[in-house]
Amino acid sequence: MTLRLEGLRRRYGATVALDGLSLSVPTGAVVGFLGPNGAGKTTAMRAVFGLVSLDAGQVTWQGRPVGAEERRRFGYMPEERGLYPGMRVGEQVEYLARLHGVPAERAFELTRHWLQVVGVADRADAKVEALSMGNQQRVQLAAALVHDPELLVLDEPLSGLDPAGVDAIGSVLVEQAAAGRGVLFSSHQLDLVEHLCEAVAIVDRGRLVAEGRVEDLTTSGSRRLVVRVEGDRQGRWAQGLPGVRVSQVQGGAVRLALQPGTDSQMVLRAAMAAGQVTEFGFERRRLSEVFREAVGHPLDTAGATGSGAERTAGATGRGAERTAGGGAPAGTGRGGSPTSAAEVAPPGGGEPMP
């Protein structure tokens, strides 16, 4: 089974959010969805759930267009807080399970199970507004998982989590993929993505610019040398070496990309001439280097504040991404209530459960 985004296009006035974006998310794999701010990631994820009206293209699941029935079997976690702040945690997750058609007794059991898995079982009776941002994030993941979805679409699920939370949530994502589900999640934490994901898709300006297995992407391309010269933490010694590009300087270690045919011994001689060499060895590309080469700039300086086309104010902003018929903005339900796949697209296209 595969989720397929085919030729997605969406324009807000003069701003292009999606420009013919196509990609696939197979089941049984964790796929990282990467891109600078405003690249179109959130817009594409919303399109899966009908929260964005597309100018062109389609979203398919198992080769058929995605509709209300398919969305009931998906789990969605928006980047924004999509929870009732004054509702108790356990009641809220159980309520969302019921929206997806889970019987009452089973919804109660699954709620307790997933709150335990994500590490907030002891806060089941607390109101959401009393939780830390990290624990709210854990609750949102439980809400996305509680109905046993076939596909998980998660927008920045690791944001705001401490290291223990990242480990816990990351383990859940890997386990879900191992159980045969599809997992697509966006993140700006490339080291974590490299650790968790089997494959990534990188988008920029609404278009796919790179995709593939993490192993293939990080072992292809130019050879990488890591060199550390005592007394030169900025890597000045490597500037201007023929056939050599400085990829990154961090903590005194200089990562170099060697063009084909470049002699690594020439690099070693240049380093030794500059001082005592304390580290010299080949390494594979980091995902951050793959990203930089694909989009032309590092992730941490990409785009503007906010998210460009995905966060433009006024007529081209959130209001433009409302559901058909004047529904609530993406990430919330009616009156600021949470978004779930069932609430966005209930059976038969009617109103969500009250």
Q: What is the DSSP letter of 1?
A: -
In the chain the domains, ranked by start, together with CATH numbers, are 2-217+293-349 (3.40.50.300), 222-284 (3.30.70)
* pLDDT tens string 106-133: 999 999 999 999 999 999 999 999 999 9
Q: Are 98 and 151 in contact (CB under 8 A)?
A: no
Could you tell me the CA-to-CA distances from 22 to 6, 58, 150 in Å, in that order?
5, 9, 21
Q: What is the mean pLDDT of residues 62-86?
A: 91
Which CB contacts under 8 angstroms, 24+ apart, belong to 345-348? Answer: 345/49, 345/50, 345/67, 345/68, 345/71, 345/72, 346/68, 346/72, 346/99, 347/68, 347/69, 347/72, 347/101, 348/68
Residue 270 backbone dihedrals phi, psi, to 5 degrees: -65, -40
**Residue written as tokens 């944001």?**
159
What distance separates the 2 farthest-apart alpha carbons in the chain? 74
Q: What is the mean pLDDT of residues 210-237?
A: 91
Q: What is the mean pLDDT of residues 288-294?
A: 89
Entry pTM: 0.76
In sequence order, the 6+-apart residues with CB closer than 8 A to the CB of 216 are none
Average the pLDDT over each of 7-21, 52-66, 246-260 and give the range with the smallest value. 246-260
Q: What average pLDDT does the chain have?
A: 85
Residue 300, pLDDT > 60, answer no
CA dihedral for 86, 91, 93, 98, sign (positive or negative): negative
Q: What is the mean pLDDT of residues 259-268?
A: 93
Q: What is the mean pLDDT of residues 8-25?
A: 96
Task: Name the residue type at position 92.
Answer: Q
Sheet with strand 2-12: strands edge to edge: 15-26, 2-12, 56-61, 64-65
CA dist., res. 82 & res. 98, Å (int): 17
* pLDDT score at 297: 65
* pLDDT score at 299: 58
Q: What is the mean pLDDT of residues 135-145?
A: 94
